[in-house]
C-alpha cells in the first residue's frame, strides 16, 4: 500500500477530499471532547424548560422533555461511531477471510458458499437486523455482531472477486507450484494486492453501518435511551418539527455532515489509490 503520507497528500490536494477530511476530523474531535465540554446533563429532564428556543442558557434550545439539545447533539454520535467501527472491523474480517478462501478453493465449495451468500443478500438488511434485534434486544453487544454479519456479506463478494483476478497470475501459480499452502498464498500473495480495494470498501462500510445504526435508533431499535443518539433525536422530534424545528435541525445537520464528510474523503482516497469505489452490495 502506498505510503500514508503520500496518500494523505494526494487526498488533501483534492478540494472535496480536503473538505471531507476536515469534516471527519471535526466530528472525531467533538466526539472525544464532548463529555468534557457539554454544559448540561443530556438525560436531565426539566419540566420548566420544555421546548425553549435557542438561547444563552441552551444554545440549541430544549426538546419536549426539557433536555438540552446542544449537549445531546454533541454526544449523539459517540455510541453510533463506536458500534459502526467495531461492526466494520467484524464485517471486514470475516468477509475478507471467507471471500479469499472460497476463491482459492473453487469448485463445489465456492458454488455452495456463494449461493448461500446470495440467499442472505436477498433478505433486506433492515428486516434481517430488526428480526434479530427484536429477539436479542438492541444492546451494543447485540448490534455489533448483527451489523457485522449483515454488512460482511458484501465484503465476501468483493474479496472473492478481487482474489479471483489474482489467482491466475504468474506469481500465484508459482507459489502453488512451490507447494505453499492456501493460507500462505492468501496472506502473502493475494491480500497485499487487494488490500487497497478492501480498505476503501471498509471505509464505505463504516458510513453505511453508521446510517444503519441511526436508522435503527430512529425506529426505536438502535441505541437505547437515555444515551443520546442523532437518529433517536430525529425520531423524538418528528411530531414537533413545525413548532420546534431546532429539536430536529441540529441532529440532522450533524448526522448528514458526518456521512457527507466520510463520502468525500473516501472518494478522494479511492482516487489517490487508483481503485474504484464499489456500490453497497456488489454482485459475483
What rounded mean pLDDT belongs to the chain?
A: 87
Write down the pTM of the prediction.
0.88
124 dihedral zone (left: phi>0; alpha: psi -120 to 50; beta): beta
Reading phi first (left if > 0) and then psi (alpha if -120 to 50, else beta), residue 169 is in: beta
Query: Can you give the C-alpha Rg of the chain in angstroms?
Result: 22
Q: What is the CATH number of domain 60-273?
A: 1.10.3720.10
Cβ-based neighbour number of residue 137 at 10 Å: 12
| 82-137 pLDDT tens trace | 999 999 999 999 999 999 989 988 888 989 999 999 998 888 877 877 787 777 76
- 80 within 8 A of 213, measured Cβ to Cβ: yes
* Domain residue extents for the chain: 60-273
Strand partners, 68: 62
Encode pLDDT of 236-274 as tens digits: 998 898 899 999 999 999 999 999 999 999 999 888 887
Amino acid at each position: 500500500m502506498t505510503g500514508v503520507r503520500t496518500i494523505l497528500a494526494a487526498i488533501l490536494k483534492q478540494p472535496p477530499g480536503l473538505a471531507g477530511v476536515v469534516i471527519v476530523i471535526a466530528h472525531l474531535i467533538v466526539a472525544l471532547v464532548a463529555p468534557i465540554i457539554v454544559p448540561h446533563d443530556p438525560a436531565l429532564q426539566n419540566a420548566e424548560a420544555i421546548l425553549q428556543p435557542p438561547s444563552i442558557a441552551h444554545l440549541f434550545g430544549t426538546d419536549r422533555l426539557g433536555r438540552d439539545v446542544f449537549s445531546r447533539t454533541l454526544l449523539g454520535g459517540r455510541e453510533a461511531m463506536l458500534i459502526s467501527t467495531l461492526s466494520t472491523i467484524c464485517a471486514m474480517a470475516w468477509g475478507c477471510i471467507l471471500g479469499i478462501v472460497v476463491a482459492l478453493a473453487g469448485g463445489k465449495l465456492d458454488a455452495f458458499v456463494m449461493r448461500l451468500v446470495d440467499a442472505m443478500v436477498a433478505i433486506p438488511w433492515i428486516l434481517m437486523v430488526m428480526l434479530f434485534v427484536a429477539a436479542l434486544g438492541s444492546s451494543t453487544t447485540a448490534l455489533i455482531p448483527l451489523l457485522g454479519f449483515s454488512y460482511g456479506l458484501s465484503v465476501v463478494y468483493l474479496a472473492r472477486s478481487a482474489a479471483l483476478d489474482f489467482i491466475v497470475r504468474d506469481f500465484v501459480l508459482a507459489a502453488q507450484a512451490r507447494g505453499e499452502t492456501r493460507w500462505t498464498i492468501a496472506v502473502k500473495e493475494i491480500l497485499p494486492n487487494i488490500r487497497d480495494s478492501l480498505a476503501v470498501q471498509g471505509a464505505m462500510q463504516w458510513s453505511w453501518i453508521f446510517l444503519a445504526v441511526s436508522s435503527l435508533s430512529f425506529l426505536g431499535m438502535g441505541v437505547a435511551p437515555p444515551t443520546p443518539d442523532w437518529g433517536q433525536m430525529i425520531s423524538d422530534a418528528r411530531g414537533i418539527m413545525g413548532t420546534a424545528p431546532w429539536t430536529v435541525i441540529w441532529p440532522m445537520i450533524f448526522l448528514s455532515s458526518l456521512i457527507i464528510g466520510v463520502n468525500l474523503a473516501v472518494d478522494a482516497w479511492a482516487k489517490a489509490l487508483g481503485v474504484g469505489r464499489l456500490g453497497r452490495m456488489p454482485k459475483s
